[in-house]
C-alpha cells in the first residue's frame, strides 16, 4: 500500500493513474495523523514552494513527515515534493522547508524559465543506475549541501540536481509518472521492487546508502 500525501493543492491524478497502471495500491492521506509509518509515503508537489509548505503545515503533514522519515519510513518526493525536503527556497524567502536534507532551492539563472520538457538524467559518478530521459516542469532546483545526497544530475545550461537520495529518502525533481516506461520503472524500483523469485520485497529506499 502506497500512502499519497494530500495537502489540498495540486493535481495528483497523473500519479494515481501511474500507480494504478503499475498495479500498486494506494490511499490518500488527507491529514498528518492519517500516515501509518508502515507503508511507503509519496509526496507529489505541484505549485509554489510556499503554497505547498502552507498546505503541509495546515494539515499537520510537516511534523508527521519529519517524524516518519526519521523513523525509517520509505519516502518518495516528486517535483516540489523534493524541494520541500530542503531548508528553504528562493521562490518564497523566509518560508522554511522540512529541513530533512541540508541545502537550499534556487532559481535557474540561464535558459528559458521554466524548464518544460524532456531532459536526460545521469546518475552521480560512482552510482550504478540507469540513465534515461524524463519530463521536467521547473523553474527552481535543489542545491544540496552534501554532494553525496545527489542521486541523478541533468544539464540545463549547466549541471543541476535532478534527484536526491539519503537512506530511506528518494526524491525526483522531474515527473516520473509523466516520463513513460523509464519513469514508471523508477517508480516501481523505489516503491515496489521485486525479488528474484518474483515476490514483492521491501522498497529499495529502506536500504539505500548515503
DSSP string, 53-71: HHHHHHTTHHHHHHHHHHT
Query: Positive or negative, the Cα torsion across 93, 161, 42, 165?
Result: negative
pTM of the predicted model as reported, rounded to 2 decimal places: 0.90
CA separation for the pair 92, 129 (Å, rounded): 33
With the C-alpha atoms ordered 195, 72, 161, 78, is the resulting torsion angle positive or negative? positive
Could you tell me which CATH class the domain 2-207 is placed in? alpha beta
Selected catalytic residue, list 3, 54, 91, 177: 177
Please tell me the distance from the alpha carbon of residue 12 to that of residue 5, in angstroms, as a whole number. Answer: 10
Among residues 61, 79, 91, 161, the one annotated as catalytic is: 79
Q: What CA–CA distance (Å, rounded) separates 138 from 89?
A: 13
Whether 177 is catalytic is yes
Q: How do the domains of the chain map onto residue ranges?
A: 2-207
| Local confidence pLDDT in tens for the 210 residues of the chain | 999 999 987 678 899 999 999 999 999 999 999 999 999 999 998 889 999 999 999 999 999 999 999 999 999 999 999 999 999 999 999 999 999 999 999 999 999 999 999 999 999 988 889 999 999 999 999 999 999 999 999 999 999 999 999 999 999 999 999 999 999 999 999 997 543 333 344 455 544 333
Catalytic residue among 3, 54, 161, 175: 175
Q: How far apart are CA 140 and CA 121, in angstroms?
A: 16
Q: How far is CA 19 from CA 14, 39, 46, 126, 185, in A?
A: 9, 14, 17, 30, 11
The three grid cell numbers given for residue 136, joined into one nine-digit string: 521536467
Q: How many residues are there in the chain? A: 210
SS3 40: coil
Residue 175 falls in the annotated catalytic set: yes
Amino acid at each position: 500500500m502506497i500512502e499519497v500525501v494530500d495537502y489540498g493543492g495540486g493535481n495528483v491524478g497523473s500519479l494515481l493513474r501511474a500507480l494504478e497502471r503499475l498495479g500498486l495500491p494506494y490511499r490518500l492521506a488527507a491529514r498528518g495523523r492519517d500516515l501509518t509509518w508502515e507503508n511507503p509515503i509519496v509526496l507529489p508537489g505541484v505549485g509554489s514552494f510556499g503554497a505547498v509548505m502552507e498546505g503541509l503545515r495546515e494539515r499537520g503533514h510537516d511534523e508527521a513527515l519529519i517524524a516518519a522519515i526519521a523513523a525509517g519510513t520509505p519516502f518518495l518526493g516528486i517535483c516540489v515534493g523534493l524541494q520541500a525536503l530542503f531548508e528553504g527556497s528562493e521562490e518564497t524567502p523566509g518560508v522554511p522547508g522540512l529541513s530533512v536534507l541540508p541545502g537550499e532551492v534556487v532559481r535557474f539563472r540561464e535558459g528559458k524559465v521554466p524548464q518544460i520538457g524532456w531532459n536526460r538524467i545521469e546518475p552521480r559518478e560512482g552510482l550504478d543506475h540507469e540513465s534515461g530521459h524524463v519530463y521536467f516542469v521547473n523553474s527552481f532546483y535543489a542545491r544540496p549541501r552534501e554532494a553525496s545526497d545527489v542521486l541523478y544530475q541533468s544539464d540545463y545550461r549547466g549541471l543541476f540536481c535532478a534527484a536526491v537520495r539519503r537512506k530511506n529518502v528518494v526524491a525526483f525533481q522531474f515527473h516520473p509518472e509523466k516520463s513513460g516506461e523509464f519513469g514508471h520503472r523508477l517508480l516501481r524500483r523505489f516503491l515496489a521492487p521485486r525479488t528474484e523469485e518474483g515476490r514483492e520485497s521491501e522498497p529499495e529506499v529502506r536500504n539505500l546508502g548515503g
